[in-house]
Structure 1
Amino acid sequence: MVLVTDEQVRKGSADYFLNSGDKIRFFFEKGVFDAKGDFLVPREKSVNKIGHALHAHNPLYKRMTHSPKIQEVGQRLGLVKPVIVQSMYIFKQPNIGGEVTPHQDATFLHTEPLGRILGFWIAVEDANEENGCLWFIPGSHRDGISRRMLRTPPGSIPCTAFIGEERSYNDDQFVPAPVPKGGLVLIHGEVVHKSDLNTSPNSRHAYSFHVMESHKTSWNPENWLQPSQDLPFPSLYT
């Protein structure tokens, strides 16, 4: 038997996350394992999301991400040199699909200047208030960001840290955004949004990817996600 310390486990988890930008990796829901590491739920119901390079390595999601309809959206929005920085398949499992607390995408995907990140969120299944649809604070994209997540020095635990603090929000500020299967939601990088815990018996699958307008824009070198030699950020229009 090989004994592994808690710090080694945390370090391994950190590396798995930080090095996922150019790979396809699996991330599990909280509470799906017992103390021995055995599944408490069926394996197919245990995954929170798959990321973060489906757009590059999976033929189906590559075609979807670069589809003529998606490219037309980018062109109609006036995007000059949009590049894809990450992609995720989100499961929102029935009964246990995790809450996503209020946040702004630009906190995690920081550009200079701000306002150059755009999320494409595609409902693979109907998304409604019962199974954890997205909620937004209208107009919140005009208020800038209050915090940034960045990488800590190599070998540090935790692997990321925050500068600043998330603002406090009241529940009555949020408006639900139910979307039928096949619907597309465009998410401004600075709009505050969230999704609730899925306590319903129905899953809420979605495919999501983020695009940066790279024209006259720089990607922050302190972001947790960085392009690699194996996978520079590909053009949306390729």
Structure 2
Amino acid sequence: MSDTSPQAVAKFPAPSLGELTVDMKQYFDDNGVLVLENFVSKEACEKLMAQAGSIVEAFDPNEFRAIFSTTNKSHEGNTYFEQSGDQIRCFFEEDAFDDHGNLKQEKALSINKIGHAQHDLDSVFSAFSRNPDLAQVAKDLGMEKPLLSQSMYIFKQPRIGGEVICHQDTTFLYTEPHSCIGMWFAMEDATLENGCMWGLPGYHKAPLKKRHYRNASGKLITEKLDDSPWPEEDRVPLEVKQGSLIVLHGQLPHLSGPNTSDRSRQAYTLHLIDGACDYPDTNWLTRSVDMPFRGFK
């Protein structure tokens, strides 16, 4: 938020037992983003990638051909997506189908993401998500009662991996006061060529621009709170190696471009909220009374 050119985001080595240093915490406070390299092992990444592949393999594309797109909002208005808060469901890329409704390429190369409760319903995802080191990071960032609210496994498929428009996670996981934190794990190297994330360091201190919620009739709507655009000149690429963890403040604007390369950019995202805060029942992501949000244990 200055007149100078944006600086590259600093990268820190993974802290021992997840205990953040004073410098790490200060950097997150100042910038709204924290990159921790080698947070998880190559073996852990490969195990999660294999499990994601198994979920896709078991998925019947005729069950529901839901497309996920942040550009045209094609996923909104269908119950398959809107009732996925306590399910494991697969969503296709926008360009996965031809004009006749047939997949252009094999199923495994057509899925956009898996969401949104595999961290609770799948033992491999649960073990990865409930890492004690990750719980320590959440504690060091001031979360009193961290709850694992949402998970997404994102494939960013070669050549058809869709753009994710600039957004703030608190728009979708709103608490009073705001408490959302995103934990983004690179399952593969994320580069400019295959659609790495971009962030706007420091802009987490700006007001929330949108609120996505269910209105009185239960329909999902997005309310604009501030129409001013995010300054493109302050965007910084977040290129990281496999195993890196990118921690995102819930109000940090971030985005990613399409993947036009011939390499995927798989990633796993876990969103936390603080159970000490109020989570309105108007939020889009809801759960049955039998499956409340859980913490790290």
* 1:39 corresponds to: 103
Asked if 1:161 corresponds to 2:221, the answer is yes
Asked if 1:229 corresponds to 2:289, the answer is yes
* Residue of structure 2 aligned with 1:218, choices 248, 270, 278: 278
Cα distance, 1:163 vs structure 2: 1.1
1:116-168 superposed Cα distances (whole Å, 9 cap, x missing partner): 000000000001111111111111110120210112455x7xx4111115531
- Cα distance in structure 2, aligned partners of 1:72 and 1:82: 10
- Cα distance in structure 2, aligned partners of 1:39 and 1:161: 30
* 1:137 corresponds to: 200
Q: Secondary structure at the match of 2:139?
A: helix
* 2:211 corresponds to: 148
Gaps of 5+ in 2: 1-73
Does the 8 Å CA contact 1:103/1:166 hold for their aligned counterparts? no
Q: How does 1:55-70 map to 2 (within 5 A)?
A: 55-70=119-134
- Cα distance in structure 2, aligned partners of 1:20 and 1:179: 29
- Cα distance in structure 1, aligned partners of 2:106 and 2:293: 35
Cα distance, 1:68 vs structure 2: 1.8
**Percent of paired sites with the same residue:** 40
* 2:234 corresponds to: 173
* Residue of structure 2 aligned with 1:208, choices 269, 276, 279: 269
1:82-124 superposed Cα distances (whole Å, 9 cap, x missing partner): 001100100000111000001000111111112x000000000
* 1:16 corresponds to: 80
How does the TM-score come out when normalised to structure 2?
0.71
Cα distance, 1:196 vs structure 2: 0.5
Does the 8 Å CA contact 1:121/1:206 hold for their aligned counterparts? yes
Gaps of 5+ in 1: 1-9
Cα distance, 1:45 vs structure 2: 0.6
Bigger relative CO (Cα 8 Å, ≥ 6 apart): 1
> What do you get for the CA RMSD once the two structures are aligned?
1.8
How does the TM-score come out when normalised to structure 1?
0.88
Letter in 1 for 2:150: Q
- Cα distance in structure 2, aligned partners of 1:19 and 1:67: 27
Letter in 2 for 1:221: D
Cα distance, 1:32 vs structure 2: 1.1
- Cα distance in structure 1, aligned partners of 2:173 and 2:97: 30
- Cα distance in structure 2, aligned partners of 1:141 and 1:20: 28
Asked if 1:198 corresponds to 2:259, the answer is yes
Does the 8 Å CA contact 2:212/2:221 hold for their aligned counterparts? yes
- Cα distance in structure 2, aligned partners of 1:11 and 1:65: 26
- Cα distance in structure 2, aligned partners of 1:230 and 1:28: 28
| Greater strand share, structure number | 1
Does the 8 Å CA contact 1:131/1:200 hold for their aligned counterparts? yes
Number of residues paired by the alignment?
A: 223
* 1:86 corresponds to: 150
Q: How does 1:62-141 map to 2 (within 5 A)?
A: 62-114=126-178, 116-141=179-204
CA gap 1:130/1:143 in 2 versus in 1, 3 angstroms: same
Cα distance, 1:72 vs structure 2: 2.1
- Cα distance in structure 2, aligned partners of 1:46 and 1:235: 32
- Cα distance in structure 2, aligned partners of 1:40 and 1:205: 20
- Cα distance in structure 1, aligned partners of 2:75 and 2:159: 30
Letter in 2 for 1:160: L
